Amino acid sequence: MSAPDAFPDSWGGLLRAATRRFADRTAMVAHGERRTYRELARNAARFANALRGLGVRPGDRVALMMEDRVEALEAYVACAFGGFTAVHVNDRLKAGEVQAVLEDAGVRAFACTSGRSAVAGQVAGLGDLAALVTVGGEPLPGGLRYADLLAEASDRAPEPVPGDGPAIIGYTSGTTGTPKGVVVENATLARIIRHMPYHYRLAPGSRCAFTGTFSFVAALWGVVLPHLYLGGTLSFMAGLAPDAWVDAMVRERSTFTYAPSPLVPAFTEEVRRRPEVLGSLAGILHSASALPPAQVRDLVEVVGPRYIETWGMTETGAPVTATTAADWGPGCPADDIYASAGRPVPIASVRVVGESGEFLPAGSTGELVVESDTLFAGYHGRPDLTAESFSGPWLRTGDAGHVDEAGYVYITDRIKDMIITGGMNVYPAEVENVLAGMPGVAQAAVFGLPDARWGETVAAAVVPAGERAPDAEEVVRYVGDRLAGYKRPTRVFVVDALPRTASLKVRKQELRDRFSR
C-alpha cells in the first residue's frame, strides 16, 4: 500500500484520498474566498508540516477556535494529515471558558482566527505552548502568523500515521458547570463520515448551502467532512436572511441545506414564494432542537419528501434516528410523523427505560437510551462521568420520550436540565455558578422557557441578597461579560425564595410552570 493511501480507516486517510480524487473541484466558499480540493490539501499539508517543525507530534492535541473561514477547514484537515488530535473550541466562548478547555485537554498548540484574538489574548499560559498561531491579522504576543507558517513549509503531505487514538475532542459544558471533552476516536470518526451521506441522503458532488458554523463540532463531522468525502462543495451562508439564503441557493443550484429552528417559518414562506429553488434542492435537514409539529407540517407541505428530521447528540457522533422520504407520503405508520424524530438508523438502536433501568414497552414514556456504531469513546479524563453515562452498552441520553408501535421515536422532555436555545446547548449549572458570584444575588436558578424563535430561551430566577434586587439588564450584562452570548438569560425573575424539595433541590419544573404562563 502506498503511503498516501495508508490507514484508510482514519479521517486522515479518507481526506487524503478525497483531496486527490476531487483535486480541481471547489471544496469550500466562505466570504468570497474559495478553495479547490488541491489547494485545500496543499495548505493543510503546509500547516501540518509547520506544526511538526515547531515540535507538535502525532497524537498531540491542537486546539482550534475558528470563525467561518476557508483557513478553518485547512486547519482541521491539517490535523487529519498530521495525525494530531483536533480540540474543537467554540468560537463564541469567553476567555475563562477557553482556558478551561485548553487546560482540560492538555493542548500542545492553539490556533485562532483574528476575530477571536482579543478573547484568546486574555487566556493565561499560551506562551508555554509549542505553537500559538493567528489566522489573519496580527499575531498574539509570542505567536506566529498562519500565512507566514504556510509560506515557509513544504506542501508535501507528511507521512501518514496509524489511525488509532482520538481524532477530535469536542467540548460541551457538563451538568456540573465544568467542560466535558467528548472524545471521538479515529475509527469512529471515519465511520461517521462514511455513514452521514446515508442519513442525510447526500449525493456525490453535493452542493451544500451551509447555514451552520464552525461553532458546532457536530457540524464539522456531520456536514463538513462528509461533503469532502463525497467531493461536494460547501458554501457558508450562516447569518443570511431567508430571502438572501434562498437567492443564493437558486444561484448556486444547491442540493442540500440545513434549516435552523429560528428561521424555519420565514424559510417556509420564502420557498413557497420561490419554488424554483426546489429544482435542485434535494435535502433540507433540521436537527439540534425541536420544532413545533405545526411548523414541520407547514414546511413539508412546501418541500415534500426533501425534509429530513434527525435526533442525536455530540456523544452519539452521527444521528441515531432520521426520517426518510417515504415518511412524508401516504400510509406512514407513525402515530404522528410531524412530532417524531424518525426511526433508528440502521447502525443504531433506541430503547426506553424506566427509573430502575428496565426496558419499557412501546408507547411508555421514560429515558431514551441508545446503542450505535458511532458512539463516543468517553469524556476526556473523566472515567467517572463516562461510567455514569452508560448502562452496559447503552448510552443514557438524559432525554425523556417514547417509541410508538411502528418504531418512531418521540422526544417529549429532558431529564437533565440542559437548555437547547437555537441549537446551542446551555447547562444551567454553568450559568448558576456565574450568578453565584454576582453582588446582590443570594441564590439563583436557571431554567429553559419555550421560545417561538429559538425553541427555548434561558431564564433565571434570582433571590436578592439585600434590599435592592439587581435588575434584569444587570443580570444579563454580568453573565454576558463572563460567558458566551447564547448563555445569557433573556428573562430574569426576582423571587423571595426558590421552591425546593425536601432534599433542598430546586423545583425547576415549578419555576417553568410559573413563568411560562
Judging by beta carbons within 10 Å of its beta carbon (0-12, 13-18, 19+), is residue 80 exposed, middle or buried?
A: buried
Give CA 304 to chain center in angstroms: 26
- Residues of the chain with pLDDT > 70, as a percent, come to 96
Give the model's confidence band at 6: pLDDT under 50 very low, under 70 low, under 90 confident, else very high: low
**C-beta atoms surrounding 386 within 10 Å:** 17
The three cell numbers locating residue 144: 506566529
The three cell numbers locating residue 135: 489566522
pLDDT the model gives residue 179: 79
Mean pLDDT of 124-140: 95
pLDDT the model gives residue 3: 44
E-strand stretches of 15-143: 26-30, 33-36, 61-65, 85-88, 109-113, 131-135
CATH T-level assignment (fold) for domain 198-414: Rossmann fold (3.40.50)
Q: Out of 3.30.300.30, 3.30.428.10, 3.40.50.300, 3.50.50.60, which CATH number does the structure's domain 419-515 have?
A: 3.30.300.30
Domain limits, CATH 3.40.50.980, in the chain? 3-184
| Residue whose C-alpha cell is 413557497 | 272
Q: Which residues, 6+ apart, have CB-to-CB distance to 249 below 8 Å?
A: 209, 257, 277, 280, 281
pLDDT the model gives residue 160: 86
CA distance 503 to 114: 48
Domain limits, CATH 3.40.50.12780, in the chain? 198-414
Stated pTM of the model: 0.88
Q: Which CATH architecture has domain 3-184?
A: 3-Layer(aba) Sandwich (3.40)
- Residues of the chain with pLDDT > 90, as a percent, come to 83
Residue 273 has pLDDT above 50, yes or no: yes
Tell me the three state secondary structure of residue 59: coil
Domain limits, CATH 3.30.300.30, in the chain? 419-515
